[in-house]
Structure 1
Amino acid sequence: MPVNPTYPGVYIEEIPSGVRTIRGVATSVAAFVGSFQRGLLDEAVQIFSMGDFEREYGGLDRNSETSYAIQQFFLNGGSEAHVVRVADTATGAAAAPPTNANAASAILEDQPAAGAQMFRATAGRRIRGEAARNPGTWGNFLRLEADYATASPASLFNLTVQEVRLDGDRTVVLRTETFRNLTMEPDTPNNALEVVNQGSLLVQLDRDGMPALVAPAPGSPWPRPASHGTLGAALPASPVSIPPTGSSLNVTVSGFPIINGTLDYVGAPPTSYAGLRPLLEAEIRSRAASLPDAQRGLLANASVQLLGDGSTAEPFRYFVRLGRDARPFDPARSITFAGAAAGAAPGVRLSAGAVINRQQGALSGGRDGTPPAPGTTHRPIPVGFFAGAIGPKTGMYALEDVDLFNILCIPEATTMSADDMRSLYAEAESYVGDRRAMLIADIPASVRTLDQMQTWLNDNAGLRHPNSAVYFPRANVPDPLNRNRPRSLANCGTIAGLWARTDAERGVWKAPAGTEARLRNVVTLDYKLTDQENGVLNPLGVNCLRTFPVYSSICWGARTLDGADVIASDFKYIPVRRITLFIEESLFRGTQWVVFEPNDEPLWAQIRLNVGAFMQDLFRKGAFQGKSPREAYFVKCDSETTTQQDIDSGIVNVEVGFAPLKPAEFVILKIQQIARRADV
């Protein structure tokens, strides 16, 4: 702050340096738009590895070309991507059976059958404060389990959400979420809908279309979901009711015959419900031998809990839960009890007055959408779901919520009709132009020869754009879901990873091509080009992928789709266009501080200083032509660029020029014999 001296002495005033560092933006953040077996719809999710992709979207899917492209991106050097999932949520909705994509759901009631509806659980999670659906058959493997092992068993409940997978006949738990001490009472800190919806990555709860919950009488608990498993009736507090030794205890697991037995004690009978609990559990487990081998785990690992504290408000109750390691485990199983030991009194009250429910609630109704047609490996999703709309930020425009991306990939565009593909790519090129990004266009699997590639270029001449590039031929990658047999794949994921690797190793100004530009995880190419065939496509702006001895499969071209020789574009080469976009985006972000500053020479000097420092740093890294800064770039901002009329209009003009590096496409070696005089 300026010093206002009031007393004799020494004052210290800090003076701003005027240096505002301009930081270069990232250059190889990829964006993928495609269909997957799971994931949030029309949401751009940031991922940093294939592991992140597997957690969010389920990993590789034979019906998703984009899932393989993402794998190739990370294998070839990519490190950051944003993924947008699209699905056909409308087509075939009225069909029988319906074929539109749908999220799995389940309703929990306050009674095991025909009770009042407590809430609906739908596969999905919350994004930016709003619930987002996650359609797909994956949701049919979600399980819900309510229990009363809480701080207040008479009024609260716990909710456990599990995602499972079937490996043969075994049920494997992938993820578990547990939410404790919940209530259905509104406007409370532990309200079930608020707690679960804020914390769950698997489900969202709602009560849409359900009757309003009626407040109970004062002192009575709010209704809640019925406990899964078998919840016994309240046990007498005093005197403690312990069934005598030899009392019959018959166990029935749904789907199997009744197992008759007796409750026998070794030594003196227990004197408390807590003492009876392990004996009761051991007796139930001892009946496991009566079940088939694959189902013995239901009883062998069954558990018995004692709930409550014995007070009038929280009476003791036994809770019995089946083991989970049956092969397979059926969530609809239930366990019931009969006999003197399970009766009302004396007994453990697991029969009369008990609440008997299935072990878990299973979500259902999840659908992936229209299945692939015979002989294809993709879901036929209409082009509108990929393009989306900018208003609601759907499809490709979900990337509006992303701060920065540099490379757009839509591999499944190649599975559409020719007209739909052109329409989608044309809109994508317009969008990446606005976002200062690049589009890697792909060719269909049917384009396999030189003639077919030339025909594709002629049919899609309207797609020539300085912010897009195309590569020929397609690559074959090993398919882990098909015993590593080669699978023909769109090139965008592989090339986007190559761009990222080149940027990290050499810089965005280096052409992502040459003998260093090896294509990782590519076993063969769809077509083996000769030098002469390469010479036909290169002048047309097609980047060729070649196979050379020792080097294997490499990228052998670095032109944009606007790079045909006859066009003579300033942005003929990919590195020239990409470094231009990099400089534009970096300066756009790094000069925001200029807005509303006093528009005169002190400001112009600051602009020259800061922009010049940024350009000088690029020059030192070898990003420009020229032996000196004067030859490599210039930054001009003074009274010549900004006239008084500009100042009166609130405009400051900054001119930045640079001499880009262009790749050495053609190396010509001139060899000449030297004629020498014979010595005389």
Structure 2
Amino acid sequence: MSPAGFAGLRLGAPGVYRDARRPPPSFRPVRLDIAGFVGVAPRGPVDEPVAVDRWTDYQRHFGGFEGPGLLPYAVRAFFDQGGVRAHVLRVAPLPRAPHPAAEEACALHRITLARADAPGAEPGSGAPCAIGLRARNEGSWGGRLTVRWEFTGAGQFEAAATGRDLALPEGRSAPAGSVLRVRGAGLPPAGTFFRILEMAERQDASGQRSRVAVLDRPPGGGIGPGRGARPLTVEAEVVTATVTVADGDPAYPRQERFAELGMGPAHPRYAAAVLAAESVLVAPDGPWPAALLPPDAFLGSALSRPVRPGADRYEGIGADGFHGPVPVELLPVGGAESVEDPGSFEAVGMDRMALVPEVGLLCVPDLLWQYGEALPTTETPAREVGARFAPCPPAPAPMTLHPARPRGLLLDSAAQLPEILRRQQRLVALAERQRRFVALLDVPPGLPLRAVARWRAAFDSTYAAAYHPWLGVVAPDDPDRLAVQVPPSGFAAGIIAERERSLGLPWGPANALAAGAVTAVQRLGDADCDELHLLGIDVFRAERDGYRLASARTLSRDPDYVQLGVRRLMTMLRLVLDRQAQGLAFEPHTPQLREELRGAVVQLLRGLYRSGAFAGDSEDEAFFVRCDEGLNPGWSQGLGRLVAEIGVAPARPLEYLVLRIAQDADGAVAVT
């Protein structure tokens, strides 16, 4: 292509030139299939959303089904239905860390090493010193941890020591903060430890420069560097630590290993810093001494000992664990810049999850949480007698049966309905405030049909959907194979996510079986399902092959937003334009810019139209985009505004098939 083909680009000598022109804007659909789950778990970070891409990711961070919460059942259902990504947040009772009560709930372990700077200690061997490692988060799970420190000496070399300077051979190096085990004249046979304070360069009398390690003390009787110093030849090796953390969870054992660690803050892989930043299981407890050493010169290993077992605080979890005191109206809109930056205030529970920009579906399976202590039961075994007449054997002694796991209760659906509504309305208010996700509600279990209608009357939102009834699943690790009642929203979230990924937003997220559901809390007849459907409640209907989600509606009374697919489609369009048009800010307001914006929006809508998202026999009937002088007069441009008007006709999912059956005089049957 000739240089004239690059308008505005001046070419000189042959080479690679950057075209400084701004590419025209283009818009791409955003994902709404990522779910957020908030609930009770036996382990895991508190009030910190964690991204998980599979069920094993959840197990690694939050454990399995051993706790009383319903969170694991909902997340497992989501992935079983076809979901591929979720954010999970664990709730905890007040007070939270760093309050002493929360800190006491974290297990604590101690390990005995040596400390070189202890008063009266021999610098080369130090004095015994116990350092603390606490479980990364609260719960009795931390009592199963074991931590082993192993020490390795590697890269042995000979070097000349002059005072505190140790001349390193060519090609040898060690970072500041390293520990050396040194052998030589006047030193113990097993060697003694020296710490490298810094690396420096020295110049001898001939002007030759060499790299030396400055030690914490002279290894021999030298008089110090400089004129008249007597070099001492020693053998040295760099000592590093390897920390292995093992979790003895019988259901999902975990192990972490951190190698080549240093024992001083100046080391680039200082053990305390690496464990604090990278370990999922432990964190340093309190400040560590700056001059740690191995426990002995023979590089023996050190094993942790438990000091505090940790505790589960299930009994303290209440409504304040699921949301903070900040009113919904004061929460940020549009999500925080990142998951790690919730803003200038402390958001907890579902308030915190609502700030994750990725979340398109929000479920709180433990929102009806009310803890109930699992009490032992007494059972008297049956008396065994033989077939002959004989004196009766003595009655067997009663047996006390202790529950294998804690038990979580739900708020009473009838007596505590106002409290249930208060919690669920807070969740819906969050969705309406953020306008990025849909809140998936669970109809309180056990309510009769009339009570369900009264419950439904408390909601009118396009950003909420309700599911009914609760379903029964069997936990894989339950030896008794008993069905557990779980909220249906977890199944619904997985169905919605799978339909979006496989078929796209235009397809209604329904007509799919609940994976793993073996029973339902309530049996609903055809008349019940009909009435619930008219109320806008999405029902899992019992069929021969399982429980099938029969509809995909919102809790809105606005007929334009009754269908969940329509709500999600419009949300996606708003998010695309809101996020991807930010780059147009401060561009010169020209007819070319308006035409580029219009063309980019048309391309986006055209792709959606071809995928079936819009109704109409042609693009003109399906959507329109206006961005002209009529919408952008001179006075509007003077205010720095660019206005575009977009209209779409969303396609509505097919819900009813009407068949007409007629029989003519000859007896022939026709179905139309």
Fold match (TM-score > 0.5): yes
- RMSD over aligned Cα atoms: 3.6
Counterpart in the other structure of 1:282: none
Whether 2:582 is the aligned partner of 1:582: answer no
Shift of 1:420: 4.0
User: 2:286 aligned with 1:207, yes or no?
Assistant: yes
Q: Is the 8 A contact 2:471 2:521 kept in 1?
A: yes
- Between 1:492-501 and 1:101-110, the stretch displaced more is 101-110
Distance 1:94 1:506 in 2: 48
Distance 2:249 2:661 in 1: 69
Is 1:541 matched with 2:540? no
Which residue does 1:43 correspond to in 2? Answer: 48
Letter in 2 for 1:139: G
Matched, 1:506 2:497: no
Q: How does 1:131-146 map to 2 (within 5 A)?
A: 134-146=137-149
State the AA in 1 paired with 2:526: D
Question: CA 1:173–1:519 in 2, change beyond 3 Å: closer, same or farther?
Answer: closer
SS for the counterpart of 1:413 is coil
Change (3 A) 1:554 1:119: same
Name the SS of the counterpart of 1:581 in structure 2: helix
8 Å CA contact retained: 2:506, 2:611: no
Could you tell me whether the CA contact under 8 Å between 2:431 and 2:463 is conserved in 1? yes
Is 1:386 the counterpart of 2:322? The answer is yes
Residue 53 (str. 1) matches residue 58 (str. 2):
yes
Counterpart in the other structure of 1:403: 357
Task: Map Cα deviations across residues 622-644 of structure 1 (whole Å, 9 max, x no partner).
Answer: 11111110011111111122222
SS of the equivalent of 2:589 reads: coil
Change (3 A) 1:102 1:12: closer
Q: Deviations over 1:456-498 (max 9, x none)?
A: 334xx1x331100111111111222333322111011100001
Q: What residue in structure 1 maps to residue 105 of structure 2? A: 102
Which string of whole-angstrom CA distances, capped at 9 and with x for unpartnered residues, describes residues 134-160 of structure 1? 111111122223344434354356252
Could you say which residue in structure 1 is the equivalent of 2:550?
556
Q: How does 1:445-594 map to 2 (within 5 A)?
A: 445=445, 447-458=446-457, 461=458, 463-483=459-479, 484-514=481-511, 517-549=512-544, 551-562=545-556, 567-594=557-584
8 Å Cα contact 1:558-1:575 kept in structure 2: yes
CA shift in 2, pair 1:362/1:428, >3 Å: same
Distance 1:533 1:365, change over 3 A: same
- Whole-angstrom CA distance in 1 between matches of 2:359 and 2:497: 12
- Give me the whole-angstrom Cα distance separating, in 2, the residues matched to 1:150 and 1:198: 25
Equivalent-residue separation in structure 1 for 2:505 and 2:261 (angstroms): 54
Q: CA deviation at 1:3?
A: 4.3
Tell me which residue corresponds to 1:19: 24
1:571-626 per-residue CA deviation (whole Å, 9 max, x = no partner) reads 11111111111111122222122211112311110011001000000011111111
1:188 aligns with 2:267: yes
Cα 1:558/1:174, change in 2 over 3 Å: closer
Deviations 1:193-227 (A, max 9, x none): 2233233232221434x8x76xxxxxxxx344x63
Partner of residue 369, structure 2? 415
* Structure-2 separation of matches of 1:91 and 1:190: 30
Deviation readout 1:294-314 (Å, 9 max, x if unpaired): xxxxxxxxxxxxx6xxxxxxx
1:316-465 aligned within 5 A: 317=298, 319=300, 359-362=303-306, 364-371=308-315, 381-388=317-324, 391-399=345-353, 402-416=356-370, 417=411, 418-433=417-432, 434-445=434-445, 447-458=446-457, 461=458, 463-465=459-461
Secondary structure at 2:367's aligned position in 1?
Answer: helix
Assess, with a 3 A threshold, how the Cα gap between structure 1 residues 474 and 199 changes in structure 2: closer, same or farther: closer
The structural deviation recorded for 1:89 is 4.5
Conservation of the 8 A alpha-carbon contact between 1:538 and 1:544: yes
Distance in 2 (CA, whole Å) between partners of 1:600 and 1:575 is: 36
| Rounded Cα–Cα distance in structure 2 between residues aligned with 1:423 and 1:78 | 29
Amino acid at match of 2:352: A
- Residue aligning to 1:32: 37
Counterpart of 1:496, as a letter, is: A
Conservation of the 8 A alpha-carbon contact between 2:151 and 2:242: no
- Pair 536,6 (structure 1): closer, same or farther in 2 beyond 3 Å: closer
Match of 2:123 in 1: none
Query: Secondary structure of 1:570's partner?
Result: helix
Give the partner amino acid of 2:528: E
The one of 654, 658, 662 aligned to 2:648: 658
| Letter of the 2:254 counterpart | L
| Maintained 8 Å contact 2:42/2:312 | yes
- State the SS of the aligned residue for 1:144: strand
Deviations 1:240-269 (A, max 9, x none): xxxxxxxxxxxxxxxxxxxxxxxxxxxxxx
| 1:454–1:92 CA distance, 2 compared to 1 (3 A) | farther
**Partners of 2:649 and 2:515 in 1: CA distance:** 32
1:394-414 Cα shifts (integer Å, max 9, x gaps): 222333663311000001112
Matched position secondary structure for 1:465:
coil
The aligned amino acid for 1:453 is V
| Closer, same or farther: CA 40–583 of 1 in aligned 2, 3 Å | same
After superposition, the C-alpha distances for 1:358-405 in whole angstroms (9 at most, x for unaligned) are 84333633212135xxxxxxxx61111211355223222333663311
Match for 1:640 among 626, 630, 645?
Answer: 630
The answer to whether structure 1 residue 150 and structure 2 residue 144 are counterparts is no
Q: Closer, same or farther in 2 for the Cα pair 1:600/1:138, shift >3 Å? A: same
Distance 2:113 2:551 in 1: 66
Report the residue type matching 1:407 in the other structure.
L
2-side partners of 1:14 and 1:147: how far apart? 57
Structure 2 CA distance for partners of 1:452 and 1:199, relative to 1, 3 Å:
same
- Are the equivalent residues in 2 in contact too, given 1:88–1:101 (CA < 8 A)? no
8 Å CA contact 2:149–2:303 kept in 1: the answer is no
Counterpart AA for 2:255: R
SS at match of 2:256: strand
Q: Which residue of 2 aligns with 1:248?
A: none
Distance 1:527 1:18 in 2: 58
How far off is 1:24 after superposition? 0.7
Structure 1 pair 505/633, CA: closer, same or farther in 2 (3 Å)?
A: same
Q: How far, CA to CA, are the matches of 1:527 and 1:360 in structure 2?
A: 51
The alignment partner of 2:561 has SS state of coil
Q: Deviations over 1:67-118 (max 9, x none)?
A: 11000000011110001111114399999xx799822122444569x97755
Which letter maps to 1:415?
A: W
1:169-215 deviations in Å (ceiling 9; x for gaps): xxx9630323445224x43334332233233232221434x8x76xx
What is the CA-CA distance between 1:662 and the residue it aligns to? 1.4
* Pair 1:119 & 2:107 matched: no
Which letter maps to 1:369? Answer: R
Inter-partner Cα distance in structure 2 for 1:190 and 1:505? 45
Unaligned runs of 5+ in 2: 1-5, 120-126, 155-179, 182-191, 194-238, 332-344, 371-410, 412-416, 667-672
- Indicate the SS of the match to 2:148: strand
Distance of 1:444 and 1:532 partners within structure 2: 20
Percent identity among equivalent residues? 24
Q: Which residue of 1 aligns with 2:232?
A: none
* Pick aligned residue for 2:254 from 166, 174, 177: 174
Unaligned runs of 5+ in 1: 125-133, 214-221, 232-306, 308-316, 322-357, 372-379
